[in-house]
Every structure is written in structure tokens, then in C-alpha cells.
């Protein structure tokens, strides 16, 4: 791994919290992510199952965690199964984790090789009354691939057809959406890396540069700081491209007079930042660009007063949209008479602000949380309003990452330039 070692106390604490929520005499089993094929003998880069990483910190394929808090023998209460290094693996892939290394990194005392899993599954499964299994329950989860967790659901039910089964996702989502101080430190590191990359770009962007060249500058800055690279596919969108919410081709040349929307952020130790800034390619805002930019910045600032403990995100979104509607009226994109007779189910502002303002952030960029969960201290979210005017080749979005606290919020990106004057000064320094 590129990043500094994570204190195993984080993973010990996470497992302890989950174990306390399981029914009496229950087993919970979590698998590593699959290595995904590309074509021929190629594979995609391995990214660990977020739940398994949250509970163990292990980034190795073919790994499994079994939790059985009420097991008769203490050694069976936490078991980590790993792929054992063979001579063939050593030659072609390098050494895998040893048992001692895994024990030190995870805090799990019982670490076994994978070939011992089938027998222990049957032995311990017969002692349990309930089996907890995870599947991806994110509201926008992809259903295109049958994951290791999904395959194991079928396998487990074939072995234990009469057991009681429970969903692990609601329990672990409740835990993952509240970040510990150690997790917030990792997120802060990702945000600080993002800051460094953005400041590097402010001295680099100019008319004639290509979007992919900007992408390369960021990749260089972050990878040399021990990041895996981008937290998500980067959006580097100049001109009208900024009006495409998930524009990722990054293959246009930046033109004099255009604005450049940068939805880019670094990853660190599997924790992800998520930042958006919008800057003038030539280093100076036009009057209209500044007008739209200030409108978005006004809504952005208003969000800081609206998002707080106890708030439901859907109610917060309605309040943000009310702020945005006022700004759209002020800059002439909406007319009062049209707003007065609009369909409340299809508000006119949606044509200029079609997305939500905040989402959870953590090991996943769109991190998990229980549905309809009021905001609580320890949650980390984005704030990202935007205005997109296709007919003017102009899109502006601003985004920071914040932590909900007992008394309000803490901004993890407070040091990243955002005021228009700051942007202009740094681009023209």
C-alpha cells in the first residue's frame, strides 16, 4: 500500500460496534470484492469491498471476515481468512499478507488460510441461529454484476436452508455514516491533497491547454503524495461541457473566455474527498460569469446555515432550492410571473439546478447511510450547489466537504480557495 499504516484500533472499534448490534448467537460474513475482468487476460485495478475494508483494513483479494460474538471458543469470535502465498503467486504477483502481518494490521487474533473456511463455515454455522449477510443496498446500486457477497448468499442458503437470515447492510450503513476521529483524519488528508492539486492547477490553466493535460497534472500531484489517484473519474469540463453533470471524456481544448468546471478530488487510504471549483480559463471572470458564480456562492454559503444535526436531507434540499430560486430570479434566468404559476412537482429551477445538494462521503464517494436518517454528529457530507446554462455555454458548481458536529459543521476544505478574487489573484500571480 502507498499510504501510511492505519492504526488497527480503528478496525477493532468498528468490529466491536458491529458485533454489539448483532442478534444473540449470530454469525456475520463479509467477502472481499472480486477482481473484475477487462478483456483477454487483463483485469481492472482491484478496489476492496468497502464493508470489508471498514471492518479489517485488508485490501487483499479473496479475503473473508467471519464474526461470531457468541461463539463458545474465543478464537472463533473473529476470524479473518486470507489467500496463502504459493511459489507461483510469489513469482507472478508477489507475497500476500502473512498471518502475522494481518494480525498486526487488523487486530484480528485468529487469521487462517482460505482452505479452512468451508469446514469452519459448516461447523460454526450449525452453532448459530442467525446469519447476517451483506449486499449492496445503496439506492443507486449497480445491478449489472453478481458480486462475491451475492454469490455467497445463494451458497450459504443452500447449506443452511432452515437458518434465520438477516440483512447486514442496515447495521453497517448505520455505523459507516458516523465517522470516527481516525476516519475524519484520513478524510482531512484526502482534502489537503485535493487542495494542493487545485493550487497547482491555478498556476497552470490557460487558454489552449487541454482538459486531459489538467487531469495529468492532478494525477501527478496526488500520486506523489501517496494517493492512489482520483477519488472518482475526474470531471474537467470547459465551456458547455460543464453543463453535462457527469462529463468525463476530458478531451476538449480550453478556450479563452470559457469557464472551467473541475469536479476532482484525491483519495487517501481508501477515503475520498469530493471537491468542485469553477474557474475562468484566462484568469478573469467576465461580468456575467461573475454574476452566476456569485449566485452559486451565495447558495453555497446559505447551505452552511441550513445543514445541521437533526435535519432531514430531503427537507434541507427544499430549503436550498428556495434559496436557489431566489438567485435564479435575481440573475434573470427565471421570471416572477412564471414562478408564480409553476407546477410545484416540476419547479422551473430544475432546468438550471437539476441535482441534489449534499450526499454522504467516506470510503465510498457517495457513501452509504440508512434511508430517511436525520443528520447526526460525525456524518461527513458534501455541499455542492450549481447553475447550468447550456444556452450560454456556462456551468458553475462549487463543492466542499463538511463534518456535522454537535454545534454545527466543520469544513474540511476551508483552506481551499473559493472566493472569485482569490481565484483571480492566484491565477494571475
Q: What is the pLDDT of residues 214-242, one digit of tens each?
A: 999 999 999 999 999 999 999 999 999 99
**Residue 164 a catalytic site member:** no
Last residue of a domain, one of 176, 199, 233: 176
Shared domain check, 293 and 162: no
**Residue 166 a catalytic site member:** no
| Residue 3 in domain | no
- What is the pLDDT at residue 66? 98
| Residue 43 in domain | yes
Q: Which of the four pLDDT bands, split at 50, 70 and 90, describes residue 246?
A: very high
CB of 135 closer than 8 Å to CB of 150: yes
| CATH number, domain containing residue 150 | 3.40.350.10
Last residue of a domain, one of 109, 142, 176: 176
| Residue 151 in domain | yes
- What is the pLDDT at residue 140? 77
Shared domain check, 146 and 197: no
Summarize the confidence of residues 363-382 as an average pLDDT.
95
| Residue 346 in domain | yes
- What confidence tens digit (pLDDT) does each residue in 152-170 have? 999 999 999 999 999 999 9
Shared domain check, 162 and 189: no
Shared domain check, 141 and 269: no
Shared domain check, 281 and 240: yes
196 backbone φψ class: left, alpha, beta (φ>0; ψ -120 to 50): alpha
Q: Which of the four pLDDT bands, split at 50, 70 and 90, describes residue 146?
A: confident
Distance, C-alpha 282 to centroid of its chain: 32
Locus of grid cell 473519474: 233
Helix (H), strand (E) at residue 113? strand 110-113
* The total number of structural domains that make up the chain: 2
What integer best gives the mean pLDDT of the chain? 97
Give 270's DSSP letter: T
Q: Tell me if residue 26 falls in helix, strand or coil.
A: strand
| Residue 2 in domain | no
Last residue of a domain, one of 176, 197, 232: 176
**Residue 21 a catalytic site member:** no
Summarize the confidence of residues 331-359 as an average pLDDT.
97
249 backbone φψ class: left, alpha, beta (φ>0; ψ -120 to 50): alpha
Q: Which of the four pLDDT bands, split at 50, 70 and 90, describes residue 1?
A: confident
Catalytic, out of 174, 366, 376, 411: 366
**Residue 183 a catalytic site member:** no
Catalytic, out of 24, 41, 314, 407: 41
pTM as predicted? 0.96
CB of 248 closer than 8 Å to CB of 222: no
Summarize the confidence of residues 404-410 as an average pLDDT.
94
Catalytic, out of 252, 301, 355, 376: 355
| Residue 4 in domain | no
**Residue 388 a catalytic site member:** yes
Shared domain check, 234 and 191: yes
Pick from 152, 82, 161: nearest CA to 126: 161
Triad 292, 283, 230: Cα angle to 5°: 85
Shared domain check, 259 and 142: no
Shared domain check, 188 and 157: no
Q: Which domain holds residue 299?
A: 181-427
**Residue 384 a catalytic site member:** yes
| Residue 95 in domain | yes
Shared domain check, 109 and 49: yes
Shared domain check, 238 and 191: yes
- What confidence tens digit (pLDDT) does each residue in 250-290 have? 999 999 999 999 999 999 999 999 999 999 999 999 999 99
Shared domain check, 209 and 130: no
Q: Which of the four pLDDT bands, split at 50, 70 and 90, describes residue 143?
A: low
**Residue 138 a catalytic site member:** no
| Residue 118 in domain | yes
Catalytic, out of 138, 224, 246, 288: 246
Shared domain check, 189 and 94: no
Amino acid at each position: 500500500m502507498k499510504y501510511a499504516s492505519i492504526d488497527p484500533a480503528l478496525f477493532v472499534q468498528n468490529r466491536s460496534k458491529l458485533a454489539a448490534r448483532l442478534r444473540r448467537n449470530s454469525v456475520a460474513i463479509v467477502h472481499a470484492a472480486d477482481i473484475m475482468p477487462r478483456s483477454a487476460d487483463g483485469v481492472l485495478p482491484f478496489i476492496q469491498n468497502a464493508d470489508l475494508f471498514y471492518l479489517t483494513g485488508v485490501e487483499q483479494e479473496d479475503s473473508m471476515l467471519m464474526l461470531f460474538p457468541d461463539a463458545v471458543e474465543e478464537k472463533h469470535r473473529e476470524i479473518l481468512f486470507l489467500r496463502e502465498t504459493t511459489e507461483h503467486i510469489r513469482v507472478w504477483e508477489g507475497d500476500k499478507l502473512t498471518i502475522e502481518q494481518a494480525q498486526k494490521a487488523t487486530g484480528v487474533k485468529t487469521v487462517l488460510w482460505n482452505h479452512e473456511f468451508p469446514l469452519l463455515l459448516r461447523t460454526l454455522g450449525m452453532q448459530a441461529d442467525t446469519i447476517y449477510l451483506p449486499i449492496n443496498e445503496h439506492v443507486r446500486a449497480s445491478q449489472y454484476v453478481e458480486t462475491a457477497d451475492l454469490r455467497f448468499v445463494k451458497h450459504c442458503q443452500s447449506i443452511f436452508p432452515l437458518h434465520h437470515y438477516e440483512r447486514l447492510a442496515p447495521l453497517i450503513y448505520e455505523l459507516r455514516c458516523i465517522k470516527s476521529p481516525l476516519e475524519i483524519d484520513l478524510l482531512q488528508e484526502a482534502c489537503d491533497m485535493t487542495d494542493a492539486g487545485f493550487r497547482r492547477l491555478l498556476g497552470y490553466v490557460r487558454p489552449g491547454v487541454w482538459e486531459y493535460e489538467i487531469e495529468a497534472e492532478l494525477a501527478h500531484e496526488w500520486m506523489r503524495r501517496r494517493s492512489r489517484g482520483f477519488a472518482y473519474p475526474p470531471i474537467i469540463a470547459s465551456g458547455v461541457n460543464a453543463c453535462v453533470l457527469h462529463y468525463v471524456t476530458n478531451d476538449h481544448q480550453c478556450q479563452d473566455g470559457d469557464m472551467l468546471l473541475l469536479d476532482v478530488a484525491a483519495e487517501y487510504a481508501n477515503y475520498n474527498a469530493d471537491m468542485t471549483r469553477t474557474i475562468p480559463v484566462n484568469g478573469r471572470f467576465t461580468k456575467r460569469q461573475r454574476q452566476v458564480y456569485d449566485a452559486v456562492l451565495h447558495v453555497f454559503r446559505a447551505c452552511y446555515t441550513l445543514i445541521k444535526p437533526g435535519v432531514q436531507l430531503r427537507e434541507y434540499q427544499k430549503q436550498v432550492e428556495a434559496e436557489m430560486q431566489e438567485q435564479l430570479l435575481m440573475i434573470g434566468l427565471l421570471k416572477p410571473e412564471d414562478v408564480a404559476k409553476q407546477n410545484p412537482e416540476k419547479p422551473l429551477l430544475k432546468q438550471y439546478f437539476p441535482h441534489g445538494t449534499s450526499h454522504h462521503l467516506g470510503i465510498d464517494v457517495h457513501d452509504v447511510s440508512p434511508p430517511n436518517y436525520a443528520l447526526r454528529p460525525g456524518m461527513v457530507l458534501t455541499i455542492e450547489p450549481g447553475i447550468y446554462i447550456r444556452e450560454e455555454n456556462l456551468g458553475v458548481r462549487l463543492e466542499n466537504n463538511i463534518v456535522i458536529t454537535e454545534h454545527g459543521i466543520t469544513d474540511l476544505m476551508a483552506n481551499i480557495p473559493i472566493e472569485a478574487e482569490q481565484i483571480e489573484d492566484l491565477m494571475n500571480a
